[in-house]
């Protein structure tokens, strides 16, 4: 279905959410139509923020917003849906567009399987009325569904259901690549544990390594790699612990910077690869291109802070991080790029966990 025909039926002029690869057609359409004009389109740090932002839009305009997300984001909206939007509280209408990863019967990665299985059940429990959209869903079915008086409605989007024929390209002015930054990091991290973030960072790390026991790949739980790294660092004080994060992920749960900064483990090195983009799911911008993450880390209590633009300065920062005993933050600017032939981890998540635990406890 052409995404424009779909969006026209919704009759909304405010869209907010977190991008998803299943929703690439929608995301590209929104970027081409509105860019990031905050009157019409805001890419939020996490999906719960989008649900709340949509509530504010409704309160001030009386109009219904559209909130878009991958089904992994349902976890982040549970609280605003139950305690803000639900009819037992403020009874605020919203339309959700949800990319269905891990649909039963459709092959997907381990982090999507359980979320995929419970997606429709969770919507039922949240009292969100849904319509599943496939390639062959007719526009009339969508029009009929929109006439339903449910306040909270969701479209659950199957693989390939939406299409958009215009190409959108996402770029920045940065020079390094994420994969090469990761290669540099692991040349300095040696035998220390590495915790990597969701998306292509973990996929690239996996491909760069010959053996995988030193790495914990945070394949799901976007935004939580640095909290996992904090937990490891506190109990593994004999060695450095390296966290390779993304800007979108760091923003998603940015409160954790304050917690890490206040706990201040001197063996933790937190690297944020900042491409100002959600590159792994298509390239939509994050706000990390407009703010100064390094200054935020400094204010939160990180002791050594570096912002690097090229490989020489990256190496200088990595040497300092390795050799000093200080909570370190390295923001490495990267272009919006990944290889077309990038693979996926070939070991199971539980093999990864077991190998990592054996390594770390030996």
Ligand X SMILES: Cc1ncc(C[n+]2csc(CCOP(=O)(O)OP(=O)(O)O)c2C)c(N)n1
Q: Which residues bind ligand X (CB under 6 A)?
A: 18-20, 70, 72-73, 76, 178, 197-201, 222, 246-249, 275, 277-281, 286
> Torsions phi, psi of 247, nearest 5?
-70, -40
Q: How far is the CB of 160 from ligand X (least distance, A)?
A: 18
Q: How far is the CB of 261 from ligand X (least distance, A)?
A: 19
Q: How far is the CB of 169 from ligand X (least distance, A)?
A: 15
How many CB atoms within 10 Å of residue 144? 11
Q: Which is nearer to ligand X, 47 or 142 (CB)?
A: 47
Q: How far is the CB of 199 from ligand X (least distance, A)?
A: 3
Q: Which is nearer to ligand X, 197 or 294 (CB)?
A: 197
Q: How far is the CB of 128 from ligand X (least distance, A)?
A: 17
CB 228 within 8 A of CB 234: no
Q: How far is the CB of 130 from ligand X (least distance, A)?
A: 18
Q: Which is nearer to ligand X, 133 or 281 (CB)?
A: 281
Q: How far is the CB of 359 from ligand X (least distance, A)?
A: 25
C-alpha distances out from residue 248 to 44, 180, 191, 239, 242, Å: 10, 19, 28, 27, 18
Q: Which is nearer to ligand X, 72 or 294 (CB)?
A: 72
CB 67 within 8 A of CB 42: no
Q: Which is nearer to ligand X, 92 or 332 (CB)?
A: 332
- Residue 28 CA to residue 22 CA, distance in Å, equals 11
Q: Which is nearer to ligand X, 145 or 174 (CB)?
A: 174
Q: Which is nearer to ligand X, 284 or 304 (CB)?
A: 284
CB 229 within 8 A of CB 271: no
Q: Which is nearer to ligand X, 192 or 201 (CB)?
A: 201
Burial state string for 328-344 with b = 16 or more CB within 10 A and e = fewer than 16: bbbbbbbbbbbeeeeee
- DSSP E strand boundaries for the chain: 15-17, 41-43, 66-70, 94-99, 129-133, 152-157, 194-196, 215-217, 241-246, 268-274, 304-308, 328-333
Q: Which residue is nearest to ligand X (CB)?
A: 246
> Torsions phi, psi of 16, nearest 5?
-150, 150
**Residue 107 bridge partners (DSSP):** none
CB 202 within 8 A of CB 218: yes
Q: How far is the CB of 274 from ligand X (least distance, A)?
A: 8
């Amino acid at each position: 279905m052409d995404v424009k025909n779909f969006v026209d039926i919704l009759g909304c002029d405010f869209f907010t959410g977190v991008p998803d690869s299943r929703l690439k057609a929608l995301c590209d359409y929104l970027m081409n139509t509105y860019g990031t004009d905050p009157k019409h389109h805001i890419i939020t740090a996490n999906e719960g923020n989008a649900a709340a932002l949509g509530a504010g839009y409704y309160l001030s305009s009386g109009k219904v917003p559209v909130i878009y997300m991958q089904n992994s984001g349902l976890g982040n909206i549970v609280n605003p849906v139950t305690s803000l939007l639900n009819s037992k509280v403020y009874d605020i209408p919203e339309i959700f567009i949800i990319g269905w990863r891990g649909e039963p019967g459709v092959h997907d990665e381990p982090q999507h399987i359980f979320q995929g299985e419970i997606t429709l059940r969770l919507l039922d429990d949240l009292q969100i009325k849904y319509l599943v959209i496939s390639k062959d869903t007719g526009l009339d079915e969508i029009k009929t569904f929109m006439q339903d008086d449910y306040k909270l409605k969701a479209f659950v989007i199957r693989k390939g259901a939406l299409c958009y024929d215009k190409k959108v390209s996402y770029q920045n002015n940065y020079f390094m690549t994420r994969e090469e930054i990761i290669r540099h990091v692991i040349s300095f991290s040696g035998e220390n544990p590495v915790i990597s973030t969701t998306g292509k960072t973990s996929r690239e790390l996996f491909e760069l390594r010959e053996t995988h026991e030193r790495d914990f790949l945070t394949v799901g739980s976007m935004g939580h790699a640095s909290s996992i790294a904090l937990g490891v660092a506190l109990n593994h004080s004999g060695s450095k612990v390296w966290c390779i994060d993304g800007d979108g992920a760091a923003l998603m749960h940015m409160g954790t910077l304050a917690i890490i900064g206040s706990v201040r483990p001197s063996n933790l090195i937190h690297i944020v690869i900042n491409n100002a983009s959600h590159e792994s799911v298509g390239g939509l911008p994050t706000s990390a291109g407009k703010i100064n993450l390094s200054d935020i880390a400094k204010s939160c209590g990180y002791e050594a802070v570096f912002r690097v633009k090229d490989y020489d300065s990256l190496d200088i920062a990595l040497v300092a991080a390795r050799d000093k005993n200080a909570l370190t933050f390295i923001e490495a600017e990267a272009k919006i790029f990944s290889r077309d032939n990038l693979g996926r981890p070939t070991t199971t998540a539980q093999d990864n966990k077991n190998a990592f635990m054996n390594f770390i406890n030996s």
